[in-house]
Every structure is written in structure tokens, then in C-alpha cells.
Amino acid sequence: MADGSQAHRRPLVAGNWKMNLTHLEGAVLAAEVAAALPSPVPVDVVLCPPFTALQAVGDVLAAAGGEVMLGAQDLHWQERGAFTGEVSAGMLAALGCRYVIAGHSERRGLFGETDEMVARKAAAARAAGLIPIVCVGETLEQRRAGRVEAVILGQLEAVLAAVSPDAGLVIAYEPVWAIGTGEAASPADAAAVARLIRDRLRQAGPGAGDVRILYGGSVTAENAAGFLSEPDLDGALVGGASLDARSFAAIVEAAVKP
């Protein structure tokens, strides 16, 4: 059923811990998150700790029943070799990761990642059996210049040249101006961009209706329901609020579709 209706897409809430928490602190938070969620966990939930905490967090999640999944925040597109400091998709898969974020705006903006690099990362993730969560989003300057569509479609273009749209792809719409600022997009604006993304995905392949589209950017326990009740949004990519188990659990609860 790839008709674009949301009924068959299982909501997804991912916590991006960014460069926070040691492996010891991460293990504690992972245990708190697992304990705060109902069992069975009603939607897909993924924790994305720093590389250094993947093993410890993965162990805690497995011991808690393995319902909450493990994800990484980045990867390199090569399988192995002389790439000092980098981590491959295969290494992440071997640690039990199921998801990996690619092209977060902090990677693009602070570390010079291009659309092509992001596309290669998405393809490498899929080749290793991981689901890439590919981030797209415009800056405030671009939004003010009326370039939201052009920016989002441009970022998508490179991904679609490398990866076919299907259930093994997640797109996260994260407007750069909403990240870590406390100033979230409106649910209607986020849903409008999600529709734009879905329409473009549809042109690229019959599996487009299976791609989950998330919103990210200052999602909190208080505002999550507004986004997650939008039929065009299939979940959330959460930064700051994912560092608190109760807030994160409340966001997961808001993602359960009636």
C-alpha cells in the first residue's frame, strides 16, 4: 500500500543526543527512557547517542527488551580505510544500530557537508542495512528570501539520485532556524513542507508513500502533539528534549496515532 496515506506508516520518534553525555551518563538516560515508555512501545523509538556511547546504550536497550532502537548521528560513506576519525556504516550495524542520521544541518553548516556527501552517506547506510534519517531544512535567510521550496527540493535531489524512496528511508525536515532556538515552526508550516517532500518523492518512485517524514526543531513535550497530529508528519527528530526521559516519553506518547 504505497498510496501516501499515513495509515501504514508506523510513527517514528528519534532522539538526537548530539555531543552530550558520556557512555556512563548515556546508559543511565537510556535506562530511564526505556522505563518511562509503555510496553509494548507503541511507535518506533530510536536513541542516537554519540559514537562513544553506542555500545553502552545498546547494551542497556537490549537488556530492557530491545524495543527501543539504537541509531547513530553520522557515518562515513566508505567501508573502511585511511579516514582518520571516521566511522563506517558497517561498524554501526555491527554495534546493533538500525538507524543513522545523515546530513544534519550541524554537519552541513559546521563541518562543510555537501548534498553529495549526504547522498553518499545515505547510500552507504542502506548498503549496510541501516535506515538513514536524512535531514533537510532551510536557514532563516533562505526562508525570508522565499527559497524554502528551492532549498528543500535541491537537498532532496541529491539524495534521490543515490537512494530510492521507500520504507528504508526517513526524511527529517529540520528548519535550521528552529533548531535549539525554542522557536519551532508551526505545525501547518511543517506539514506543508512535508507535503512538498512527499510530492517530490512520489515522482521518484512508487515506494514514496512508505517514506516516513519527521519534523525536527525545538520539539518539546508541550508542542509535540501539534506536529504529530498532522497527517503529513510521521514523527519527530528531537534534540534538547530527548535528554530528559520524561519529556522524551511524553513526545513518544504524542506520536501515537488514534
* By the rule CB under 6 A, 232 interacts with ligand 13P: no
Please report how close the Cβ of residue 102 comes to ligand 13P at its closest, in angstroms: 11
Active site residues per annotation: 104, 174
x-or-dash pattern for ligand 13P, window 13-32, by CB under 6 A?
Answer: ---x----------------
Task: Name which of 18 and 120 has its Cβ closer to ligand 13P.
Answer: 18
Query: DSSP letters of 86-130?
Result: --BHHHHHHTTEEEEEES-HHHHHHH---HHHHHHHHHHHHHTT-
Among positions 74, 113, 115, 174, the unique one binding ligand 13P when judged by CB under 6 A = 174
How far apart CA 50 and CA 19 sit, in angstroms, is 6
Strand locations in the chain, DSSP E?
Answer: 12-16, 44-48, 69-72, 97-102, 131-136, 170-173, 212-216, 235-238
Among positions 180, 186, 199, 206, the unique one binding ligand 13P when judged by CB under 6 A = 180
* By the rule CB under 6 A, 107 interacts with ligand 13P: no
C-alpha cell at 126: 542502506
The residue whose Cβ lies closest to ligand 13P is 239
CA 60 to chain centre: 21
How far apart CA 255 and CA 66 sit, in angstroms, is 19
How far apart CA 169 and CA 103 sit, in angstroms, is 13
* By the rule CB under 6 A, 235 interacts with ligand 13P: no
Q: Which of 180, 169, 235 is nearest to 20 (CA)?
A: 180
Give the position of cell 512508505.
Answer: 210
Q: Do 249 and 68 meet the contact criterion of CB atoms below 8 Å apart?
A: no
Please report how close the Cβ of residue 125 comes to ligand 13P at its closest, in angstroms: 16
How far apart CA 10 and CA 252 sit, in angstroms, is 12
Q: Which stretch binds ligand 13P (CB under 6 A): 38-46, 75-83, 224-232, 236-244?
A: 236-244
Among positions 88, 155, 218, 247, the unique one binding ligand 13P when judged by CB under 6 A = 218
Q: Which stretch binds ligand 13P (CB under 6 A): 21-29, 174-182, 191-199, 224-232?
A: 174-182
C-alpha cell at 51: 559514537
* By the rule CB under 6 A, 239 interacts with ligand 13P: yes
* By the rule CB under 6 A, 208 interacts with ligand 13P: no
Q: Do 82 and 50 meet the contact criterion of CB atoms below 8 Å apart?
A: no
Q: Do 152 and 193 meet the contact criterion of CB atoms below 8 Å apart?
A: yes
Task: Name which of 4 and 185 has its Cβ closer to ligand 13P.
Answer: 185
Please report how close the Cβ of residue 177 comes to ligand 13P at its closest, in angstroms: 10
Please report how close the Cβ of residue 179 comes to ligand 13P at its closest, in angstroms: 4
* By the rule CB under 6 A, 155 interacts with ligand 13P: no
Q: Which stretch binds ligand 13P (CB under 6 A): 35-43, 140-148, 237-245, 247-255?
A: 237-245
Contact residues toward ligand 13P (CB under 6 A) are 16, 104, 174, 179-180, 216-219, 237-241
